[in-house]
Structure 1
Amino acid sequence: MNTRKRAGQGFVAGSLIGTLGGLIGLGGAEFRLPVLVGLFRLSTLEAVILNKAMSLVVVASALLFRLRAIPFEQLIQHGDVALNLLAGSLIGAWWAAGHALTMPRTRLNQVIMVLLVGLAVVMLSESWLGLHDSGAPLFEGGPTRIVVGLLAGFGIGTVAALLGVAGGELLIPTIVLIYGIDIKLAGSLSLVVSLPTMIVGFARYSGSDAFAVLKAERPLFRWMVVGSILGAGMGGLLLGLVPPEILISGLGVILLISAVKTFKHAH
């Protein structure tokens, strides 16, 4: 596949994934990973690293876009929530990225397939059980909530590092359920947690030979990021046209099928 055609396909794929992500308030990295492996034939570790680099740009852009609706001062007021989750997620991201570098490729494929299937199940559960609805927090405060936040952050950081994703699909319901925070504010707080978490994982991957994929696939990276950002903006404009429950259910099924199909046969 020539470079121009590859870049064009990256733009189209990024636009479609970004639009779907924008419709449900996510970056879409969960869907980019199977595309990078299945369509563009990258190795699993190369796909994770490229996906993480894209996620960094998309999440930083999304955070800037959302500052109009959720001002920085409001985020500062809930800084304790972000710090609680960050304390766990940074450790989880560093630990998981280190293990991914030394893990046999077949085992890494299996782990990533299981995690993507798990994310698909989470998406379906959120749709069917209404886990995005805010209400009373599970814990009012104190040491118990801090410990639960640390554990949740560690798990989310681990998943984010292994998949190269921002982790919003896990962070948003976690913030809503544990801390009882409104869904829109939870979306912005999830980006605040995701950005440094991804930077830590990205730094950990920098020692891998697979890190060279960023230079080798520069045109694909550039056009897929542009498509993802434009698509996310388009998805935001189309917000409300499709009932979120139907959309999330459909995307959960698509992710489930693509994860199993792609990583079961990945080499």
Structure 2
Amino acid sequence: MKNRPDHRRTAFLFAVPIAVLGGLIGLGGAEFRLPVLVGALRYSARQAVPLNLSISLITVIASLLIRAGALPMNALSELAVPITALIAGAIVSAAAGASLASRLPEHWLEATIRLFLLAIGGLLIVEAFLPLQGSGFIPAEAVWRAGAGVLFGLLIGLVSSMLGVAGGELIIPTLIFAFGADVKVAGTASLIISLPTIMVGLFRYARRGAFTDRAPLRETVAPMGAGSIIGALIGGVLVGIVSAAFLKLLLGIVLIISAVRMFRH
């Protein structure tokens, strides 16, 4: 791909609103970037996945820095066992997910991404009418929490590395419904869990030569990463002003339409 200023501009302009909306509803925005990378920026699904994972790394680090100090550490310490177990499981499967995505035929990878986007779109619509809340169905004993955390982490790491997402779409509901976490605590814990998972996935993609061509890093990852940081800051300011339920309904519909149109050919 040639070095084109208009490409960088497009990547940046898409990244800002995606990060704003993602921040407002508690997601990293990777699921919304996938249709942009494939549809607007014309990458193949196989190219889009590692690029999306790279942007997710920038977004997660920025979000952690923005949220630093906003939540007492003792709130996270209560979830120390499931957080550690989720990280362990996710790291193990993240490497496998990157390998699987590299070996899947293009049409199978596209079908997997489309199914994931449709599922997340449906989940957002459901959450618009039924806000996330829960008391946790996993027993409070450490052994149960550790075992369940590893199993959930295996699934989350696989999805994260295969599709280039941070995994918050799965981590946050898991922490709330399985372990009874508060939604704000779950959001911060999700970022902590996502960080090592993304790094392992990126390492595996790099080993497989996904970043041999550095042009996409300059033309897409850098401007989208910058836009994501700016958008995250704006989203933090707007939290509490815009209805999260309305945004989830709207974005769920948009995501479903995008998933259908993204691979319509």
TM-score with structure 2 setting the length: 0.93
- Provide Cα deviations, 1:163-215, integer angstroms capped at 9, x if missing partner: 11111121111101111111111111000100001111111111234323444
Aligned to 1:136: 135
Q: Distance in 1 between matches of 2:64 and 2:189?
A: 9
Q: Distance in 2 between matches of 1:48 and 1:152?
A: 22
Runs of 4 or more consecutive aligned structure 1 residues displaced over 6 Å after TM superposition:
none
Matched, 1:89 2:94: no
Percent of counterpart pairs with the same letter? 41
Q: Residue 46 of structure 1 contacts residue 211 of structure 1 at CA under 8 Å; is this kept in 2?
A: no
Q: Residue 109 of structure 1 contacts residue 264 of structure 1 at CA under 8 Å; is this kept in 2?
A: no
Aligned to 1:250: 250
Q: Distance in 1 between matches of 2:213 and 2:163?
A: 16
Taking the TM superposition and a 5 Å limit, the aligned residue runs for 1:1-267 are: 3-72=4-73, 74-130=75-131, 132-133=132-133, 135-142=134-141, 143-265=143-265
Q: Distance in 2 between matches of 1:231 and 1:97?
A: 28
The 3 A distance-change label for structure 1 pair 213 and 77 is farther
- CA drift of 1:219 comes to 2.9
What's the secondary structure of 1:126's corresponding residue? helix
- CA drift of 1:14 comes to 0.6
Q: Residue 55 of structure 2 contacts residue 221 of structure 2 at CA under 8 Å; is this kept in 1?
A: yes
- CA drift of 1:2 comes to 6.2
Q: Distance in 2 between matches of 1:93 and 1:120?
A: 23
Q: Distance in 1 between matches of 2:20 and 2:68?
A: 20
What's the secondary structure of 2:85's corresponding residue? helix
- CA drift of 1:129 comes to 2.3
Q: Residue 20 of structure 2 contacts residue 235 of structure 2 at CA under 8 Å; is this kept in 1?
A: yes
Q: Distance in 2 between matches of 1:81 and 1:189?
A: 10
Q: Residue 82 of structure 1 contacts residue 189 of structure 1 at CA under 8 Å; is this kept in 2?
A: yes
The amino acid across from 2:140 in the alignment is G
Task: Name structure 1 gaps, 5 residues minimum.
Answer: none
Supply the RMSD in Å over aligned alpha carbons.
1.8
Larger mean Cα displacement after TM superposition, 220-229 or 75-84: 75-84
- CA drift of 1:128 comes to 2.4
- CA drift of 1:240 comes to 2.0
The amino acid across from 1:19 in the alignment is V
The amino acid across from 1:141 in the alignment is A
The 3 A distance-change label for structure 1 pair 30 and 186 is same
The amino acid across from 1:239 in the alignment is V
Q: Distance in 2 between matches of 1:60 and 1:73?
A: 21
Q: Residue 59 of structure 2 contacts residue 228 of structure 2 at CA under 8 Å; is this kept in 1?
A: yes
Q: Residue 60 of structure 2 contacts residue 195 of structure 2 at CA under 8 Å; is this kept in 1?
A: yes
Count of residues paired in the alignment:
263
Q: Distance in 2 between matches of 1:125 and 1:72?
A: 31
TM-score with structure 1 setting the length: 0.92
Larger mean Cα displacement after TM superposition, 136-145 or 49-58: 136-145
- Provide Cα deviations, 1:56-93, integer angstroms capped at 9, x if missing partner: 01101101111121144543453212111112211221
